[in-house]
Amino acid sequence: MSPAHARDPRGSDSVRSQRIAGILRDEILAGDLTPGTWLRQDELAARLGASRIPVREALRILESEGLTESFPNRGARVPVLSLEDVNTYYRMRERLEPLTLTESLSRLTDQHLARLERIQDEIENQSDINRFLLLDRDFHMTSYSACPSGHLLAMTERLWNSTQHYRRAFMVLADPDRATIVNAEHRLILDAVRRRDPEDCERYLTGHIRRTRVELTAHPELFVDSDDASGRPGLLSGRAGFRRGG
Amino acid sequence: MSPAHARDPRGSDSVRSQRIAGILRDEILAGDLTPGTWLRQDELAARLGASRIPVREALRILESEGLTESFPNRGARVPVLSLEDVNTYYRMRERLEPLTLTESLSRLTDQHLARLERIQDEIENQSDINRFLLLDRDFHMTSYSACPSGHLLAMTERLWNSTQHYRRAFMVLADPDRATIVNAEHRLILDAVRRRDPEDCERYLTGHIRRTRVELTAHPELFVDSDDASGRPGLLSGRAGFRRGG
DNA sequence: TGCCACAGGATTGGATCCAATAACAAGACT
DNA sequence: AGTCTTGTTATTGGATCCAATCCTGTGGCA
């Protein structure tokens, strides 16, 4: 029979808190839960069919991934990032991800290369924003996937997750022919990977991230008006108008 | 009166789980809890005078800081790092910390500079290992302390915390005149900071971390024999011989 | 009118109890 | 004798209840 551990050897999402964390992670990355949204334990417990205990655990798990932040006696919310925050995250990416890529580089198989090519082909042959976000992430993560260090990979993923929302917000108002540049950069990275050239990998990946940062942070309107970036629930943030519904 | 929030405006350790996390954090960083040690919720709850709930929260908090790792249905332990893990952490530090320093650089005050000088003076005038570990950490953290990005600072601290135990283990068998090199490096960093020279700051800090990495990873005996690096409690790890005590 | 004290409701934090899972040991079958 | 099965115990995961804290609105007072 082997009831559970055969289907799930890691036991990772047979635990309720992990399942809940997974659901919330998807909702945050998909943009359903936007920065500033307060995550009420009661509400989540009711919505996801569990008690508040696994919800609390899930919020801690997400916090360790940078997807939520919590304040004592006040609750958890999706972090609101300032322009400076995102700028810093991107500078961190510029430094770290070239390392992730070069660590992965020598271990990438031909299957990986084929997959990278396939992903980039699809990126160039469609125009849906959400699809692009998924494919772009997939492109880079695939190039990192042979990195032997789980710590470095986790850190890289964390930096991606933390800035995901602002990437999406940026896409909706981006210059249409921006895609041309992105594709050129991706092609250069792909070529450097194929040649197993760590130096060029670093060069083009750093440039790719840096140019994105410069473009992204040229749009201050993507970020909060700096009036309610504090950690307090406040009057109008979150689910205002919902309490005392009658 | 103002009973609690006057002493603790952030409310950070008026919460039991935060207090417990703080105690455990200190014990791990001080070396009382070594890598591989399993952290049993019952035991910690009894020892720290609380129920298991805040202990669970504390373990999650520490996990988000890289100080513990937990396995579903199996518990939490202080992570056991391989030589490759530590090597990777140091490579991450080589990339990230120069950024932390240059971000901090222009905002460092004369008080900061005086403090750095004082710390380095004390480093050169004592020989206790644990004292050195504290002072060395304090030296670098002080140089980072004006960094405006809390995210970058937290990441930097996390990398330090994760490798703390192996730094200590290294110190006990380090070449005595190693201190000469460390002091020279610190003096060069300090001078570059005083001159507000970001380029030299990066150069000497990167070199400092890199040389330490090379020296540290030249001692494989500091790391596990690769026989019990798995995540399972096993027979002899942890509190073996304690169960069924009579 | 403006500010401070105070009470009510909402939300999170913690304790206790129970269920589920995993490690371990002894026994049955081949 | 060895391996698989099964039962026991220790440990973690989850639910419910209660306490502590915070937000908000109201009323008193200068």
Please name each of the domains of chain B with its CATH number. Answer: 16-77 (1.10.10.10), 83-222 (1.20.120.530)
Single out the residue of B23, B100, B80, B94 nearest to residue B54, CA to CA: B23
Q: pLDDT tens digit string along A68-86?
A: 999 999 999 999 999 999 9
- Cβ of B53 < 7 Å from strand D? yes
Structure tokens at B227: 């026989």
Which is it for strands A69-71 and B69-71: parallel, antiparallel or unpaired? Answer: unpaired
pLDDT for the residue B176: 78
Q: What's the gap in Å between the CA of A96 and the closest CA on chain B?
A: 6
Q: What's the gap in Å between the CA of A108 and the closest CA on chain B?
A: 18
For chain B, first and last CA: distance in Å?
51
Please give the Cα distance from A44 to B74 (Å, whole number): 26
- Cβ of B78 < 7 Å from strand D? no
CA dihedral A156, A101, A26, A19 (to 10 degrees): -80
DSSP track, A100-134: HHHHHHTT--HHHHHHHHHHHHHHHT---HHHHHH
Task: Supply the angle between the helices B150-172 and A83-105 in degrees, to the nearest 10.
Answer: 40
Is residue A205 less than 8 Å (CB to CB) from chain B?
Answer: no
Is residue A9 less than 8 Å (CB to CB) from chain B?
Answer: no
Residue B191, helix vs strand vs coil: helix
CB contact under 8 A, B14 and A72: yes
Residue A8, helix vs strand vs coil: coil
Q: Which of A178-182, A234-238, B143-147, B228-232 has the lowest mean pLDDT?
A: A234-238
Output the CA–CA distances (angstroms, integers) from residue B217 to A78, B84, B133, B207, in the order listed: 39, 8, 18, 15
Task: Supply the angle between the helices A129-144 and A178-194 in degrees, to the nearest 10.
Answer: 20
Q: pLDDT tens digit string along B51-70?
A: 999 999 999 999 999 999 99
Output the CA–CA distances (angstroms, integers) from residue A87 to A84, A229, B198, in the order listed: 5, 16, 18
* Span B21-38, average pLDDT: 97
In the structure, what pLDDT confidence band is assigned to residue A6 with cuts at 50, 70 and 90?
very low
CB contact under 8 A, B72 and A14: yes
Helix (DSSP H) and strand (DSSP E) numbers for chain A? 9, 3
Please give the Cα distance from A235 to A227 (Å, whole number): 12
Which neighbouring-strand residues pair with A71?
A: A75
Contact A144, A100 (CB under 8 A): yes
* Span A54-60, average pLDDT: 97
| Residue of B60, B91, B210 for testing the chain A interface, max A β-carbons within 10 Å | B60
Q: pLDDT tens digit string along B125-134?
A: 998 999 999 9
| Residue of A86, A152, A155, A217 for testing the chain B interface, max B β-carbons within 10 Å | A155
Which neighbouring-strand residues pair with B71?
A: B75
pLDDT for the residue B41: 97
Task: Give the nucleotide at minimum CA-to-C1' distance from B3.
Answer: D21
Helix (DSSP H) and strand (DSSP E) numbers for chain B? 9, 3
Contact residues, chain B, for A84 at CB < 8 Å:
148-149
Contact B226, B66 (CB under 8 A): no
H/E stretch holding B240: none
Contact residues, chain A, for B88 at CB < 8 Å:
103, 149, 151-152
pLDDT for the residue A225: 56
Q: pLDDT tens digit string along A86-138?
A: 999 999 999 999 999 999 999 999 999 999 999 999 999 998 999 999 999 99
Between the CA of B152 and the C1' of D16, what is the distance in angstroms?
41
